[in-house]
Amino acid sequence: MKKIVILASLLFVIVLGLNAQKQQRNEISIPDVGGYKTLKCDFHIHTVFSDGKVWPDVRVMEAWNEGLDAIAITEHLEYRPHENDIKADHNRSYDIAAKAGEKFDIIVIRGTEVTRKKPMGHINAIFTKDNNLIANVDSIESLKEAKKQGAFIFWNHPSEKYGKWSATQDFLYKEKLFQGIEIVNSSRYYDDAFAWCNDKSLTIMGNSDVHLPIDHDYDLLGNNHRSLTLVFAKEKTEAAIQEALVAGRTAVLFNHQLMGKEIYVKEIFTKSIEILPQHKLFKKSIRNKSLLMIKNTSGIEFSIKTKSTNTEIKISTSMVLKPNAVSYIEFEYNPSEMGAKEIAIPLEIENILVGPSKKFETSIQLRLITE
């Protein structure tokens, strides 16, 4: 009997631990940039009111757990496999989630997904007013109604399966029936979509498109976060998020990769990295070895590669700067003259993209003193 009691007690402790973990918010530390607030958002989410597997308020709790600021509920208009069991209009899931959002301080945005076969593919409309009016058998009329409601419209997961850029997209683009493209959907990245956004000044998006419970798709304990759209907004409000999306002030965080316009990702990197002071004095004409200490104050890891061609300093490495940690790089300095010198160390940040297959490059400054 004692063994059974011990086992029961152990199970009780485990359950308590799991519940406590679910009541914890894991903040993602990302610097604000350009005078804007950096908001963590997911604009492509499904629940049981279309083909998802969870209730709408669960999506809000998941978002709170993961440190998000805003989500959009975007149910399929045409595909509702649970409709025999769940009788409701196309706004109901938003209504439920929005109420939970008020409780958890998560902005919940009304949205929907217009689902068509290629070449049109799947298109999301967010900031809608009434999804029932968008449910139209005519694809163009659906998008025109969404536009009439003031929605921000974006093209989902462009690919061979769902459709790539074609005459259909030319027409929709000309008619201003979409303003952005998912360059990342769930665990898939679309290099050509990034190029289309840059070429046509469309807003880049990265979303989870989650259907199952979020921890089924992502190993949250292993720091494998859902794909996110980072929005650089004037404030944390729904109106400010929409203004930022229309203006194209976004970046994408996906599988330890940061993607976006250089003006934004550069500031995120430079504000995240701190070069710790160098107190060492170097001797002229002596092989001086030292350590370069780099502190990463953000919740994003950075894969860096040095590219120095300076003949006085030998530093060559590839390493990962882990989030909220200090890393070091060993270097050798052979000064040619006495005194203090400013030396720039060129870097390639291998997990930051500023365009399709284009890695972000920058430099760090060292001030070295020779006596």
Domain CATH number, residue 284: 2.60.40.10
What type of residue is 65?
N
Average pLDDT (115-129) is 96
In this prediction, residue 48 carries a pLDDT of 96
Q: Residue 51 contacts by C-beta under 8 Å, 6 or more apart in sequence? A: 76, 79, 80, 81, 82, 211
Average pLDDT (54-70) is 97
Residue 125 sits in a domain whose CATH number is 3.20.20.140
- The per-residue pLDDT for range 17-55, each reduced to its tens digit, is 444 446 889 989 999 999 999 999 999 999 999 999 999
Domain finish residue from 205, 220, 255: 255
Mean pLDDT taken over the chain: 90
Q: What percent of the chain has pLDDT over 90?
A: 70
Which has the closest alpha carbon to 139: 152, 123, 127, 151? Answer: 123
298 and 238 housed in the same domain: no
Contact present, 323 and 279 (Cβ < 8 Å) = no
Highest mean pLDDT among 52-61, 220-229, 306-315: 52-61
In this prediction, residue 17 carries a pLDDT of 45
Q: Is it the case that residue 197 has pLDDT exceeding 80?
A: yes
Q: Which residue has the higher pLDDT, 27 or 206?
A: 206
Assess if residue 12 is contained within a domain.
no
Structure letter (DSSP) for residue 132: G
Classify 168 as helix, strand or coil: helix
226 and 339 housed in the same domain: no
What type of residue is 123?
I
229 and 291 housed in the same domain: no
Q: Is it the case that residue 336 has pLDDT exceeding 60?
A: yes
In this prediction, residue 14 carries a pLDDT of 43
Assess if residue 80 is contained within a domain.
yes
How far apart are the C-alpha atoms of 330 and 315, rounded to whole Å? 7
How far apart are the C-alpha atoms of 112 and 359, rounded to whole Å? 34
Assess if residue 31 is contained within a domain.
yes
Q: Which residue has the higher pLDDT, 310 or 251?
A: 251
351 and 214 housed in the same domain: no
324 and 202 housed in the same domain: no
Q: Which residue has the higher pLDDT, 301 or 339?
A: 301
Q: Which of 116-130, 277-291, 320-334 has the lowest mean pLDDT?
A: 277-291
Tokens of 215: 């921890």
281 and 318 housed in the same domain: yes
Classify 81 as helix, strand or coil: coil
Q: Which residue has the higher pLDDT, 336 or 264?
A: 264
How far apart are the C-alpha atoms of 322 and 319, rounded to whole Å? 9
What type of residue is 79?
Y
93 and 188 housed in the same domain: yes
Assess if residue 333 is contained within a domain.
yes
Assess if residue 18 is contained within a domain.
no
How far apart are the C-alpha atoms of 360 and 371, rounded to whole Å? 36
Count structural domains, the chain: 2
In this prediction, residue 279 carries a pLDDT of 53
189 and 286 housed in the same domain: no
Classify 125 as helix, strand or coil: strand
Beta bridge partners of 42: 71
281 and 247 housed in the same domain: no
What range does the domain containing 318 cover? 273-370
How far apart are the C-alpha atoms of 177 and 152, rounded to whole Å? 9
- The per-residue pLDDT for range 129-185, each reduced to its tens digit, is 999 999 998 999 999 999 999 999 999 999 999 999 999 999 999 999 999 999 999
Q: Is it the case that residue 4 has pLDDT exceeding 90?
A: no
Q: Return the residue matching tokens 């720039």.
A: 344
Assess if residue 340 is contained within a domain.
yes
251 and 279 housed in the same domain: no
Q: Which residue has the higher pLDDT, 10 or 328?
A: 328
212 and 73 housed in the same domain: yes
Assess if residue 230 is contained within a domain.
yes
- 335-371 burial, b at 16+ Cβ within 10 Å, e below that, comes to beeeeebebebebebebbbbbbeeebebebebebebe
How far apart are the C-alpha atoms of 136 and 143, rounded to whole Å? 9
214 and 307 housed in the same domain: no
